[in-house]
Amino acid sequence: MSDIKKVVLAYSGGLDTSVIVRWLQDTYACEVVTFTADIGQGEEVEPARTKAEALGVKEIYIEDLREEFVRDYVFPMFRANTIYEGEYLLGTSIARPLIAKRLIEIANETGADAISHGATGKGNDQVRFELGAYALKPGVKVIAPWREWDLTSREKLMQYCEERNIPVDFSNKKKKSPYSMDANLLHISYEGGVLEEPWAEAEDDMWRWSVSPEEAPDQATYLELTYEKGDIVAINGEAMSPATVLETLNKIGGANGVGRLDIVENRFVGMKSRGCYETPGGTIMLKAHRAIESITLDREVAHLKDALMPRYAEMIYNGFWWSEERKMMQQMIDYSQRHVNGDVRVKLYKGAVSVVGRRSADSLFDESIATFEDDAGSYNQKDAEGFIKLNALRMRIAASKGRNLLD
């Protein structure tokens, strides 16, 4: 007899998680609570309620988390200009800590003994979900069906549904995308299918959020983004909530062919994985944020942030959002954003994002000093001589002692 009486499942309503509901009921003889989050995946989440009810689920949570997702996860991450391995904007990674948090909160509310998810044993998501869960509820039991069952293919899952009368729309069997996809307000990702061959070019009809740069308008689109403490608060002078900012940038960026990415990344579990991503809004946000920081951040603060960013990106990618070190680093990042206020003007043209203007009442750019014209004595160029000699001192000493760098 299982000691698991109730499980909270991260439930999408799709084939995998529908099978998981019945599998949990059969294997653990337990009650299943489903949790479906709307984080901007672009699909209706309410139908998950009907599907869960048809599976005998009595406690069903369906929640709109879009504002929380962007405000408390995406924006803090972008304050650090975060990219993983030089390219990936962490669209899937940053959604997992929010889902893990709500799974644990719902488990506490409902008195559940365990949580469950549909992540496979090969990927990063199992790590992200479970590290978050253990950080927030150390004694929680985690059930990962893909690490336990023998349903190792879509065909076996479909057969399981047929044998147990699980309500799945079999008419869509041939219409299913050949790719494994994940979407939220920050991005949509594609893996599998032809992408498993790193030499093969992604098919044109795979992309869903953006036009190809070749088909983008011949006229450039200009945007003015207003920042307060490192976050975008308005577009073209119109105040917007965090989620609306990202939705708007996704739409405009995608229409201009912005945000497509094709990479091979190193998963935390050890394997390399080829994936394609569409992140139109995030691509614009990253470029613009660096621009507003360029005139408002002290040089050494900016360089320190850049040096620490890869470590911060790894924390998020590997699932350590709910860790002491990430929280500590976030406090430093947020402190650096106190004066990151002002406006950035960007130009979008056939997939490219160009910064064409930046201004701030907190700007450290001093035109009277930086000018190539007469600076009226603001900067004494003779000061540079001693500065250079002092910085060259150690190299001059080494050379005088016979250390030849041309060897």
Identify whether 64 is a catalytic site residue.
no
Q: Which residues contact 167 (CB under 8 A, 6 or more apart)?
A: 18, 51, 54, 55
Identify whether 403 is a catalytic site residue.
no
Contact 57, 33 (CB under 8 A): yes
In whole angstroms, give the CA distance from residue 79 to residue 333: 7
Contact 99, 118 (CB under 8 A): no
Identify whether 212 is a catalytic site residue.
no
From 66, 96, 102, 260, the catalytic residue: 96
The label of the residue with tokens 């594609």 reads: 190
Identify whether 374 is a catalytic site residue.
no
From 16, 72, 262, 334, the catalytic residue: 16
Contact 176, 30 (CB under 8 A): no
From 49, 71, 180, 362, the catalytic residue: 180
Q: Which residues contact 256 (CB under 8 A, 6 or more apart)?
A: 211, 216, 217, 221, 280, 348, 349, 350, 351
- Beta strand 260-266 with 272-278 is antiparallel
**Among positive and negative, which fits the CA dihedral 131, 135, 137, 140?**
positive
Q: Which residues are catalytic?
A: 16, 96, 125, 180
